[in-house]
Amino acid sequence: MLEKFFSLSENKTTVKTEIIAGITTFMTMAYILAVNPDILSQTGMDKHAVFSATVISSIIATLVMALWAKLPFALAPGMGLNAFFAFTVVLGMGHTWQFALTAVFIEGIIFLLLTTFNIRELIVNSIPMNMKHAISAGIGLFIAFIGLHNSGLIVNNPATLIGLGKTSNPAVIITLFGLILTGVLMALKVKGALLIGIFAATILGIPMGVTHLPEGNLISTPPSIAPIAFQFDFSEIFSMKMLVVLFTFLFVDMFDTVGTLVGVASKANMLDKEGKLPRVKQALFADAIGTTIGAALGTSTVTTYIESASGVVEGGRTGLTSLTVAGMFLLALFLSPLFLMVPAAATAPILILIGSFMLSPITKVDFSDTTESIPVFLTVIMIPLTYSIAEGIVFGMLSFVILKLLSGRYKEVSIVSYIIALFFILKFFME
């Protein structure tokens, strides 16, 4: 049944490979179970209720990706978007969390409409092929930087912005151990190398005081979402304040999702000859549905996770990978203490390694053409340095359009790309 539904043989994969890929993806993104409730609770939202809303919205969105789009991508409330929700909209601008949830709900509905009328699909397909390779490489550096930071190997430095952390730090030692072990396992072509690396680093973290074993019962009843579900405030939906907040949510989520889909698909060689991703419309519906339902349940914007790259590197190629992720989220709803004990130091090596693997599509870029190479470079460098896939795409696409236009090669730019460039310029004026 699984073979027929997901076309496993056609995609050169197996049930075992897909399940291992799904578990690996989940383990690298499971931090959201702890981080999202922690961030959103600072707005006054019930932390336990946010946990349940986070898991349920992730399950629904990832199931849409698995069963309809049949692609190996996982979804959950997005990092960055949750911080904007809590620290900018609520704590910074002084709005209520109900106002912020309303903005996310409206965003989800707009995304459903944009996806229905193929507008988001047009945007995905309009990105030049070299830019798609650049996005993959940029995400690679971004995800590696996240891993290095999570491990404590790279830390904040007031003099130089960033610097090397203390190598005697137990978390750093565990990260380096996981990095070497997983790298060796992958060199030996051991199946499930990434997952083995996570488990081994987690176990090493116990005697070193980095992995904290759960106290009490491992099985727990999911907290009620009643305190935050359907808590909308429509009193200011036509105000300029709502427009500014809504525009930011739309922009960041739109291009984070587009960038992730294109970047990870490029790495997995899932793009066709024209650079298009199969069933991209269904994939875009997944985050639109997830965001709309997530807001109703009581959580911030749901988006496609760049950590999906870890499952793709493990060989995940179909919706069975994301179906496995959804199953793991369901288990987490009842076994949260077990999953939350995996420390960041255990998943950091995987993110660092995935970063290196994501760089490979850059070899397909022709660097002799400066109208192509400069936008590619700006995309690759700006994604990690701005800590945003969306901002990297802005610099890359704008420079691509401007360089082509001013060098007299304007016919090489599609009409949609010109429209996107104007949209990006508008964004700069709204900041």
Q: Which backbone phi and psi does 365 adopt, to 5 degrees?
A: -85, 135
Q: What is the pLDDT of residue 219?
A: 83
pLDDT above 70 covers a percentage of the chain that reads 100
Q: Specify the higher pLDDT residue, 108 or 428.
A: 108
Instruction: Please report, as a single letter, which amino acid is at residue 196.
Output: I
**Stretch 89-110: mean pLDDT:** 94
Which phi-psi region, left, alpha or beta, contains residue 239 (left: φ > 0; alpha: ψ -120 to 50)? beta
pLDDT exceeds cutoff 90 at 123: no
pLDDT exceeds cutoff 80 at 339: no
Summarised one tens digit per residue, pLDDT across range 47-96 is 889 999 999 999 999 999 999 999 999 999 988 788 889 988 898 889 99
Instruction: Please report, as a single letter, which amino acid is at residue 387.
Output: Y
Residue 85: partners with Cβ closer than 8 Å, 6 or more residues away = 39, 40, 43, 97, 100, 104, 300, 301
CA–CA gap between residue 202 and residue 213 (Å, rounded): 10
Summarised one tens digit per residue, pLDDT across range 380-413 is 999 899 888 888 888 999 999 999 999 999 999 9
State which of 126-135, 206-215, 224-233, 268-277 shows the largest mean pLDDT: 224-233
**Stretch 259-268: mean pLDDT:** 84
Q: Specify the higher pLDDT residue, 195 or 227.
A: 227
CA–CA gap between residue 220 and residue 317 (Å, rounded): 33
CA–CA gap between residue 296 and residue 236 (Å, rounded): 18
Whether the CB-CB separation of 259 and 305 falls below 8 Å is answered with no
CA–CA gap between residue 365 and residue 134 (Å, rounded): 8
If DSSP codes are grouped into helix, strand and coil, which group holds residue 125? helix
Confidence category of residue 423, pLDDT binned at 50, 70, 90: confident
pLDDT above 90 covers a percentage of the chain that reads 57
How big is the chain by its Cα radius of gyration, in Å? 21
Whether the CB-CB separation of 43 and 90 falls below 8 Å is answered with yes
Token pair of 397, please?
A: 């696409």
Summarised one tens digit per residue, pLDDT across range 9-25 is 998 999 999 999 999 99
Confidence category of residue 430, pLDDT binned at 50, 70, 90: low
Task: Tell me the residue ranges of DSSP E strands in 16-92.
Answer: 75-77
Average pLDDT value over all residues in the chain = 91
pLDDT exceeds cutoff 90 at 152: yes
By C-alpha distance, which of 310, 353, 340, 348 is closest to 171?
348
If DSSP codes are grouped into helix, strand and coil, which group holds residue 401? helix
Name the DSSP letter for residue 213: P
What b/e readout covers 297-312, taking b as 16+ CB neighbours within 10 angstroms? bbbbbbbbbbbbbbbb
Confidence category of residue 251, pLDDT binned at 50, 70, 90: confident
Whether the CB-CB separation of 320 and 66 falls below 8 Å is answered with yes
pLDDT exceeds cutoff 80 at 427: no
Q: What is the pLDDT of residue 428?
A: 78
Q: What is the pLDDT of residue 431?
A: 60
CA–CA gap between residue 84 and residue 166 (Å, rounded): 30
pLDDT exceeds cutoff 80 at 184: yes
DSSP secondary structure string, 157-202?
ETTTEEEE--TTSHHHHHHHHHHHHHHHHHHTT-TTHHHHHHHHHH
pLDDT exceeds cutoff 80 at 98: yes
pLDDT exceeds cutoff 80 at 320: yes
Residue 276: partners with Cβ closer than 8 Å, 6 or more residues away = 124, 125
Confidence category of residue 268, pLDDT binned at 50, 70, 90: confident
Alpha-carbon distance values, 102 to 2, 228, 257, 321, 343 (Å): 39, 12, 21, 32, 33
Q: What is the pLDDT of residue 64?
A: 97
By C-alpha distance, which of 306, 304, 351, 277 is closest to 136?
306
Q: What is the pLDDT of residue 344?
A: 87
Confidence category of residue 250, pLDDT binned at 50, 70, 90: confident
